[in-house]
Amino acid sequence: MKRICILEDSLKILLINPESKQTVNYFPTGLCYLSSYIKKFSVRKTDIKIHNSDEFEAKSLIEFIPDIIGISSFTHNFHTSVNLSRYFRTALPDSLILLGGCHISVLPESLDGEFDYAVIGEGEHTFLDIINNYSKNSKSTLENIPGISPRNNSNVIQMKNDVGSLTIGDVQHLTDVGNLINRRGLIKDLDTIPFPDRESIEDVEHIIKAEHPGWFGKTGLRSMQLTTSRGCPYKCIFCQPSVMWEKYRMNSPAYIADEIEYIHKKFAINAILIEDDLFTGSKKRVIELVELLGKKDLLGKIIYYIAGRTSQIDEQWAEILKSLGVFKVEFGIESGSDKVAQYLKTGKTSTDVNKRAISILNAYGIGVFASFIAGAPIETKEDLNETRNMIKWIKKNHSANTCGLGIATPLPATGLWDYAVSEGLIDLKNIQWSKLSVLKNFPKRPDEFIHLNKNMPADYLLNEIKKINFYLKLGTPSEFIKAIPRRVNKLLKRILKRIISFF
Ligand code: B12
Ligand code: SF4
């Protein structure tokens, strides 16, 4: 057996998920995996804090005096991450400041702020190497670790595989950059990664109790997220996981069943959001999972929210998902127009296929969350009208069905990004990252998003989306009546909060 020699000088590590509370309360899964990996495999003693909050200037973070600060960033909150790095550089000049997550992994040349290094792609191995090789006296000892991207002071990223260096603006095609970066090989067997360290998050209970009626159809549950795969085998034109993760990998049914058992026992969880891009990658895997959960007497005790592809769904899938306890399946329908849906999903899809999958699941009492996108470059007013009709059909088909409509957003490393760059809609030297937000704080004005569509003026598009979202908010007449107590309750809570804050 391999012996690990534990170095005595303990390292304090602060992992941060910025702006986590601005959307929904959720677990920073990536950071939790990094933490558990370090705890299991590092040769050093570590004291790890995972900060999942909007408040960063908290004295306690500075008083912790972390040796290493690791920030995880999406694209829309990249500006906040950059500001945070500047804040920490001033408050704790000697700390090593790292950046990771989906944004920098697919757009490494955008590295900015006061980060010492960016970690590209899957983070566990690279972070472990950083921890094991970190020296308080010299940050440059880390430079040769594969998977990291250092930066010098002139916004130039030094590529470490002898292809020279790139300046912001040099690179037009992101996939090329992905190939240039010294990417680290992926972890072959996901089961070798320990369960994510949810215990190190401050205030775990708060996240568990957060209300998610949109996912689970009711409130008062104790919910948690679970990852059972990484990546996605498809390549939709607006989505980046296939670039970020390169390859689709899955955990084994035994690993997943053990993790479900663990979180059910440890945190009394009765609702699980499976956050895979595609949970339905293998029928055999889910059949085996159901069998194992049956043996552990866990069927019927937990409800699940999962994501799938409509083209896969048949009666057998519906039966399997029902026996697992799936309450809702998320589908990227994207458009009610076949032409636009096929453009966005870069492949075969149609309203007929979508309606069939939804009807099969609904017949088994399983609801769907159908996600739509408006404003794709080729979309016309008529296409958007077909989306409106499809949304109405879905809502009427089953009371558990819900829909969401977002705006076409050119996320880095996607086909839409390439389109926006080629049309001169993106200037990397002068970009406002918050414009690439597909968040709840939806753009209210044309200058708050990147308008990709040529057939509809920006304000017309925003107005149409607003109307459809208003219909979705109100719901069908019976949904509206049903929601009155919840809405009154919410309003009272808000008033009470205001009164308390006043005193
Ligand atoms: C589940 C999920 C969610 C969940 C929870 C998110 C979460 N746990 O982080 C919910 C539903 C809340 C969510 C919301 C949103 N999401 Co989301 N989400 C995902 C999804 C499907 C999985 C995320 C995940 O858990 N991955 C698994 C972990 C292991 O990976 P990871 O977090 O990337 O971490 C690894 C590495 O990145 C790295 N790493 C990460 N951070 C750091 C930090 C350091 C210091 C180091 C060293 C390494 C490191 O190491 C980790 C382990 O390998 C991804 C797609 C995907 N497959 O990644 C989209 C994705 C991340 N989401 C996306 C988007 C757009 C959103 C929303 C903006 C959508 C919306 N309409 O509101 C919101 C924003 C939420 C917010 N508050 O900011 C985009 C982001 C694109 C971008 N460039 O920003 C993605 C990539 C999907 C897509 N459309 O392409 N999301
Ligand atoms: S939208 Fe869904 S199916 Fe398409 S690439 Fe992204 S995760 Fe995969």
Say what the pLDDT of residue 21 is. 59
The helix (run of H) or strand (run of E) holding residue 389 is helix 381-397
191-249 pLDDT tens trace:
999 999 999 887 889 889 988 888 998 889 999 999 999 999 888 999 988 788 888 99
Closest ligand to C-alpha of residue 413 is 1
Helices 315-324 + 283-295 axis angle, to 10? 30
Reduced to 3 states, what is the DSSP secondary structure of residue 94? coil
If you take atom 2 of ligand 1, which residue's CA is the nearest one? 275
Q: What is the 3-state secondary structure (H, E, C) of 292-333?
A: HHHHCCCCCCCEEEEEECHHHCCHHHHHHHHHHCEEEEEEEE
Say what the pLDDT of residue 169 is. 34
302-344 pLDDT tens trace:
999 999 999 999 999 999 999 999 999 999 999 999 999 999 9
CA distances from 223 to 133, 321, 405 (A): 37, 18, 25
Task: Name residues contacting ligand 1 (CB within 6 A).
Answer: 19-20, 22-24, 26-31, 33-34, 70-72, 74-77, 98, 100-103, 105, 119, 122-124, 127, 225, 227, 239-241, 244, 275, 277, 406, 411-412, 438-439
CA distances from 2 to 5, 41, 306, 331 (A): 10, 11, 39, 45
1-50 pLDDT tens trace:
444 555 557 899 999 988 765 555 788 999 999 999 999 999 999 999 99
Say what the pLDDT of residue 396 is. 93
If you take atom 65 of ligand 1, which residue's CA is the nearest one? 438
- In the reported structure, the alpha carbon of residue 301 is separated from the centroid of ligand 1 by a whole-number distance in angstroms of 28
Closest ligand to C-alpha of residue 73 is 1
239 Cβ below 6 A of ligand 2 = yes
Q: Among 102, 230, 234, which residue has the most ligand 2 atoms within 8 Å of its CB, making it the best to mutate? A: 234
Q: How much is the mean pLDDT over the chain? A: 86
Tokens of 12: 């304090």
What's the whole-model pTM score?
0.90
The helix (run of H) or strand (run of E) holding residue 471 is helix 458-474
- In the reported structure, the alpha carbon of residue 334 is separated from the centroid of ligand 2 by a whole-number distance in angstroms of 11
- In the reported structure, the alpha carbon of residue 415 is separated from the centroid of ligand 2 by a whole-number distance in angstroms of 13
- In the reported structure, the alpha carbon of residue 29 is separated from the centroid of ligand 1 by a whole-number distance in angstroms of 8
375 Cβ below 6 A of ligand 2 = no
- In the reported structure, the alpha carbon of residue 406 is separated from the centroid of ligand 2 by a whole-number distance in angstroms of 15
Tokens of 71: 């920030």
Say what the pLDDT of residue 151 is. 62
User: What is the position in ligand 1's atom list of the atom closest to the CA of 414?
Assistant: 90
254-274 pLDDT tens trace:
999 999 999 999 999 999 999
Say what the pLDDT of residue 182 is. 57
Closest ligand to C-alpha of residue 71 is 1
Say what the pLDDT of residue 172 is. 32
Say what the pLDDT of residue 8 is. 53
Q: Among 11, 29, 98, which residue has the most ligand 1 atoms within 8 Å of its CB, making it the best to mutate? A: 29
138-152 pLDDT tens trace:
777 788 888 888 764
- Residues of each domain in the chain carrying CATH 3.40.50.280: 7-180
Q: How far is CA 229 from the centre of its chain?
A: 13
- In the reported structure, the alpha carbon of residue 484 is separated from the centroid of ligand 2 by a whole-number distance in angstroms of 35
Question: Is residue 388 scored above 80 in pLDDT?
Answer: yes
The helix (run of H) or strand (run of E) holding residue 173 is none
Say what the pLDDT of residue 217 is. 87
Q: At 445, is the pLDDT very low, low, confident or very high (cuts 50, 70, 90)? A: confident
231 Cβ below 6 A of ligand 2 = no
If you take atom 7 of ligand 2, which residue's CA is the nearest one? 277
79-137 pLDDT tens trace:
889 999 999 999 999 999 999 999 999 888 888 889 999 999 999 999 999 999 998 87
Instruction: Name residues whose C-beta falls within 8 Å of residue 463's C-beta, 6 or more positions apart in sequence.
Output: none
State what percent of residues in the chain have pLDDT above 90: 61
CATH 3.40.190.10: does it fit domain 211-492?
A: no
Q: Among 277, 311, 335, 411, which residue has the most ligand 2 atoms within 8 Å of its CB, making it the best to mutate? A: 277
User: What is the position in ligand 2's atom list of the atom closest to the CA of 309?
Assistant: 3
Question: Is residue 176 scored above 80 in pLDDT?
Answer: no
Superfamily name and number for 7-180: Cobalamin-binding domain (3.40.50.280)
Say what the pLDDT of residue 436 is. 84
If you take atom 23 of ligand 1, which residue's CA is the nearest one? 275
Q: Greater confidence, 18 or 369?
A: 369
Q: How far is CA 178 from the centre of its chain?
A: 20
Instruction: Name residues whose C-beta falls within 8 Å of residue 33's C-beta, 6 or more positions apart in sequence.
Output: 123, 124, 193, 196, 197, 227
- In the reported structure, the alpha carbon of residue 10 is separated from the centroid of ligand 2 by a whole-number distance in angstroms of 41
- Residues of each domain in the chain carrying CATH 3.80.30.20: 211-492
Say what the pLDDT of residue 291 is. 98
Residue 192's CB: how many other CB atoms inside 10 A?
Answer: 12
